[in-house]
Structure 1
Amino acid sequence: MESAQEAWNSGSVEGVLDKYVDDIVYTTNTGGPNGESLTIRGKENVRLRFQKAMEVIDSRSHLESARWENGLVRTRLTAELRHRATGHCLQLSLRQVLRFRGFRIAEMQDFHDAAKLAAFWRLIGDPLSRIKNSAESV
């Protein structure tokens, strides 16, 4: 979990994906075409989403807390997204629920401030809009 976060902070999508199982299930409470929840299945589809985001933003997160409970890891993080072209920044907090298979992440659920995150993507021009429809069909 911590090495995946370090890879994310360094901008290494492949470093993050190395910490996931091939059939990862990634769910976020925002990210669908109208800001609704979105589930992406499989490392290749997650790669596409993360690469599109990392093309336009720098993102840094800081783990505030983590606890193991009933086979799940629950985390709280703070994060900052910075749009490279304009310098617009978004600071937010989020929660995650992770399930592991061995030492790799098998399932990850992100819970953001959906309205705040959607407003940021609308402000900078959402690079993920091109892949949302294809990711939903997976």
Structure 2
Amino acid sequence: MTISESRAAQVLYAAHEIWNRRDLAALLELFDDDMIYWSNVGTASAETVLHGKADFLAFLNGLQHMEGLSVPHSFRFRDGVATANAEFYLRDHRSGYSHSGTFRQVLTFRGHRILRMDEYHDAAALSSFLALLDSEASEP
């Protein structure tokens, strides 16, 4: 079953809306059990690759100390692949530091669920922000 353009748009926009509410259970319902999350920002390596809902949930739980908001726009759909840009804002509750920017998402689907989500951030800027938070959290 191939997803329609309108349904793909609904799923993508719903994912952002649900993430903004931090309803992780509802967010995971939008993803296939065999889902893959990929981002060009990582910790020890240059990227993050997560397989399955359990790994994705653990990753999302690790972000719970941050307030965040993402707003997608510029949705496109072609050959079963959805793309969009998103504006985002993150604020760390512990330090008060914040970061904002844009990223690109590419989604593929299995049925009406997200099978793979790739995110392309300004890796240098976001990595620097996350490293700053890590250094603040590790200080005595």
* Equivalent position amino acid for 2:110 in 1: R
Spell out the pairing of 1:35-50 with structure 2 (5 A cutoff). Answer: 36-50=46-60
Q: Mind listing any 5+ residue stretches in structure 2 that lack a counterpart? A: 1-11, 136-140
Contact 1:11–1:58 (Cα < 8 Å) also in 2: no
The aligned residue for residue 102 of structure 2 is 93
Deviations 1:74-132, CA, capped at 9 Å, x for gaps:
11000000101122110110001000112110100000000111111111117xxxxxx
Deviating above 4 A after TM superposition, structure 1's stretches of 4 or more consecutive aligned residues are none
**Alpha-carbon shift at residue 16 of structure 1 (Å):** 1.3
Spell out the pairing of 1:1-138 with structure 2 (5 A cutoff). Answer: 1-34=12-45, 36-54=46-64, 56-125=65-134
- How many residues align? The count is 124
- Between Structure 1 and Structure 2, whose CA radius of gyration is higher? 2
- The normalised TM-score by structure 2 is 0.84
Q: Percent identity?
A: 29
- The normalised TM-score by structure 1 is 0.85
